[in-house]
A and B are shown apart, each in its own frame.
Chain A
């Protein structure tokens, strides 16, 4: 027996010593269609990436709810744009959506673009993976690209001061906590006295021999089950409980005379245009080579506008592929989620011209983030084509495409 116990303990210690701490969010667990067909994030930045406790960290970027939203999900109506971090290691202090302050949820539509800016204060020391996310009612939280942020201790405990409407400043880290505890404890102590009264001087288990022989509504004062003395003490404890409630209520009403019900702020942010809509695209299929992590997308584009346009980026879920140099790639978002885009043929598309274009992207992120549907009921991908003219005017065009893997890998499990 001792040997077995020692073995079990040894195995448990061995396993736990190898367990590493989870610092990210399991974003790869979401199915590809949940990422590709729902939303696309772009221009996401988390700055700075090295701070001390109490310092601000800002997340900026945009998310578009794609017109290709899967019919298998509830249509997007209510959403909440939030930092996605491991617990409250940061404290959110400001959130702007399309330029409007947004403490709560927002109403959204398919095709809507939501520019966000969220300011957080670093709260817990550590190395944290910080994402933006958009939680959509009926669907869940859809993650954007993440950036690692290191929070160093500052030597001072974290404080989150807010100024009440009456002008008093309070630290949310501790405000009201002591009163909650002592108030709850006072109620508990009365309950404890109640329990001790019945269980310490009186016997418990052996009373069953008596109660079994009596009707259930007979408290038998003559036998001694519940005596007039018991009634007196219980009346006293019940009275103290009610008195405590009355005193507490009077104290509360005097100390906090102004109280509001919880507030909820919801609005539809001002719309942001995806462009003039004069660029038309038509998908012509796509392929994915699992061996080389290469995605190839074919489509036809027609420029119905008055000025030439060039394709600058392809944005899929939380990734951005850039037809440009290192500087342009750095500006596109967190480096783990940005890749090189090869456009063939490259160059501006003249007004009125049509062109067949092939996009080629080779990157480990496709499989790491599980972006490609390889064993799903629907082999579809979607993303945003980001066109730009000479004046810098942008057009975001959604492209949905059937995906055909070049070959399927053998598999042992369904």
Chain B
């Protein structure tokens, strides 16, 4: 926590005034073009890292509507999607004091996944977009960045932010999923629209039994599978947050610092 200017020693006050001037200094060679170059080129790296992490840990859960189930989807996606936003949150906060790491990652991921789904899965593979739409993590990222800005603490952000992340990712994407959870009679059974999509749009190498529907015994919690999963998803997101912090601190920033010291 910073001291207020009134309680600061004169030397410290002077130093901070110099820092203020430094912040607003005009540089001859490092102009706004460099900022633009950085932000734009980083889109591809950040989107790639976030997408690969999501594909590794969440895979099919983010691909098909019939995989977006009440039990595993809130757990798996919460963990998989918070890792890289957390890493970028560390980097952008430490380097520029921007509460933008999560939002930047998730907006980049949004662009990458929608472009990928549209061109690869809809145009090339001809699956309908309403079957292969990606989840959006942007609103959860906004809240995560807001939390860091307000608390200035990665510990507090992980504790509250992890739980909020799991709830936000699930609840924001449950809204567009709702039409696909309507009951429909199909093949003499009652199914959801998403189940019918999964059966009708043939995935020869993704047989139905690969889905994790009704595995485990979560229904023993008064049938409230969804809420138990969300609770667990929040815990997993907290862990994922610190996995991301480790990536940000030790794989991204620390080697750069080491390099700078050698110059």
Contact = CB atoms under 8 A, between A and B. Distances in A.
A111 B129 CA distance: 41
A33 interface: no
Contact of B139 (A88, A187, A206, A231): A187
Given A194-B145, A245-B139, A252 B178 contact: yes
Contacts of B1: 217-218
A104 B182 contact: no
A234 B99 contact: yes
A163 B183 CA distance: 10
A102 interface: yes
Nearest to A85: B202
Nearest to A89: B126
Contacts of A222: 2, 4-5, 16, 20
A210 B176 CA distance: 43
Interface string B90-134: 000111111110011011001000100000000001111111011
Contacts of A248: 172, 175
B127 A224 contact: no
Given A80-B209, A137-B209, A223-B19, A164 B183 contact: yes
Interface stretch (A196-204, A308-316, A318-326): A196-204
Nearest to A174: B130
B107 to A, nearest CB: 4
Contact of A234 (B125, B149, B201, B211): B149
A87 B127 contact: yes
B126 A188 contact: no
Interface residues of B, number: 98
A220 interface: yes
A170 B32 CA distance: 51
A1 B245 CA distance: 43
A286 B1 CA distance: 83
A50 to B, nearest CB: 20
Given A175-B193, A220-B16, A256 B139 contact: no
A222 B15 CA distance: 11
Interface string A166-191: 10001011111101110110011011
B146 interface: yes
Interface stretch (A91-99, A328-336, A358-366): A91-99
B53 interface: no
Contacts of A344: none
B195 to A, nearest CB: 5
Nearest to B226: A261
Contacts of A120: 202
B97 A205 contact: no
Contacts of A173: 128, 130
B168 to A, nearest CB: 7
Contacts of B146: 234-235, 237-238
A120 B99 CA distance: 52
A368 interface: no
Interface string A214-248: 11111111111110001100110110011011001
B194 interface: yes
A195 interface: yes
Contact of A88 (B127, B171, B184): B127
B61 to A, nearest CB: 12
A84 interface: yes
B201 A238 contact: no
B141 interface: yes
Interface in B192-210: 192-197, 199-205, 207-209
Given A183-B175, A263-B195, A88 B125 contact: yes
Interface in B1-56: 1-2, 4-5, 15-16, 19-20, 22-25, 27, 30, 32, 34-35, 38-39
A207 B99 CA distance: 13
B44 to A, nearest CB: 16
A44 to B, nearest CB: 16
A238 B102 CA distance: 13
Q: How large is the interface on A (under 10, 10 to 19, 20 to 34, 35 or more residues)?
A: 35 or more
A225 B97 contact: yes
A94 to B, nearest CB: 6
Contacts of B5: 222
A289 to B, nearest CB: 34
Given A78-B209, A190-B142, A194-B100, A164 B199 contact: no
B6 to A, nearest CB: 10
Nearest to B97: A225
Contacts of B62: none
A393 to B, nearest CB: 31
A223 B98 CA distance: 14
Contact of B100 (A183, A195, A218): A195
B193 A217 contact: no
Contact of B200 (A137, A160, A180, A208): A160
A140 B141 CA distance: 38
Interface in B141-198: 141-143, 145-146, 149-150, 152-153, 168, 171-172, 174-176, 178-197
Contacts of A282: none
A259 to B, nearest CB: 4
20 contacts: A88-B127, A102-B187, A164-B183, A179-B176, A181-B133, A187-B136, A188-B136, A188-B138, A195-B107, A204-B35, A207-B97, A207-B98, A213-B15, A217-B152, A238-B142, A244-B139, A245-B171, A261-B213, A262-B194, A263-B192
Given A102-B187, A191-B138, 12 more contacts: A80-B208, A85-B202, A92-B199, A93-B200, A123-B126, A176-B193, A181-B129, A188-B138, A207-B97, A210-B19, A211-B95, A258-B182
Interface of B: 1-2, 4-5, 15-16, 19-20, 22-25, 27, 30, 32, 34-35, 38-39, 66, 68-70, 93-100, 103-104, 106-107, 110, 114, 125-131, 133-134, 136, 138-139, 141-143, 145-146, 149-150, 152-153, 168, 171-172, 174-176, 178-197, 199-205, 207-209, 211, 213-214, 225
